[in-house]
Amino acid sequence: MSSEAKIEARANGQAANEAKIPRTERGRKTLRKLLDASAIEFGEKGFHEASVSSITRRAGVALGSFYTYFDSKDALFRALVADMSATVKSSARAALSEDMNALEIERAALAAFLDFAREHKEIYRIIDEAEFVDPQSYRTHYKTIGERIQARLKSAGESGEFRADLGEIEAWAIMGMNVFVGLRYAVWGDNDTGQNHSSQDIAHVVNRLLSEGVMRK
């Protein structure tokens, strides 16, 4: 099993552990409704003000049915963080193609994340709150993303596209850059600048920073 496959298997296992995975299509749809409703509820109110009854009303699910899928609001929150992490990954992966070089992969992955964050601004509040509600989920979210980037750097180093000595520190530096670029332009928006930066434009600028650095040549 490749390093990336191991990362995904661990992440998927963590997500599954928080929810009682249904066996029927109807049950899977109900679970999806609860996760989607909780994203809105936690995003609007925060963890402590959100309630199970309000989440089930948003989802159109009977209150008693909630416990068929989750043991508590805490378990739902952990499952939501894991679900959001998986959705970010799948959004980025869908934007990639086999003919892309290493720099194109980083650009496409960032552009896909920015598009996702524009549509789901609540992800920042939920992930940030996880640092205090469930620190392990918070750490796992970022560690998993960091490992994915590190795996891409390693692969590009082995192919000769990137330096061969890139590792965890560089991966976390790239992740930090992507996270705050997303906060500034996908969540806060461009209203105070009078400009309209597309996800592709932003990813291109960040990509140039990766390829050219900041030193004058």
70: domain CATH number? 1.10.357.10
- 106 compared with 21, residue with greater pLDDT: 106
For residue 173, what are the contacts with CB-CB under 8 A and spacing of at least 6?
none
pLDDT of residue 11: 45
Q: What is the pLDDT averaged over residues 203-208?
A: 97
Which tokens is 38 given? 């909780």
CA angle (212 as vertex; 118, 110 as ends), nearest 5: 20
Q: What is the pLDDT averaged over residues 69-78?
A: 96
Q: Can you give the pTM of this predicted structure?
A: 0.86
Residue 118: what are its φ and ψ, rounded to 5°?
Answer: -65, -35
In this predicted structure, the answer to whether residue 97 has a pLDDT above a threshold of 60 is: yes
Residue ranges making up the domain that contains 195: 3-212
Which tokens is 32 given? 């999806």
Q: What is the pLDDT averaged over residues 51-80?
A: 96
pLDDT of residue 12: 47
In this predicted structure, the answer to whether residue 3 has a pLDDT above a threshold of 60 is: no
- Inside any domain, residue 217: no
- Inside any domain, residue 64: yes
How many C-beta atoms lie closer than 10 Å to residue 153's C-beta?
Answer: 23
How does pLDDT run across 167-190, given as a tens digit for each residue? 999 999 999 999 999 999 999 987
Q: Checking phi first, is residue 37 left (phi over 0); if not, alpha (psi -120 to 50) or beta? A: alpha
How does pLDDT run across 37-63, given as a tens digit for each residue? 999 999 999 999 999 999 999 999 999
Q: How far apart are alpha carbons 211 and 209 in whole angstroms?
A: 6
The residue type of 40 is I
Exposure on the CB side of residue 158, measured as CA atoms within 13 A: 6
Which tokens is 131 given? 């640092």
Number of domains in the chain: 1
- Inside any domain, residue 104: yes
Output the CA torsion 12→16→17→21 (10° steps). Answer: -170
How does pLDDT run across 98-139, given as a tens digit for each residue? 999 999 999 999 999 999 999 999 999 999 999 999 999 999
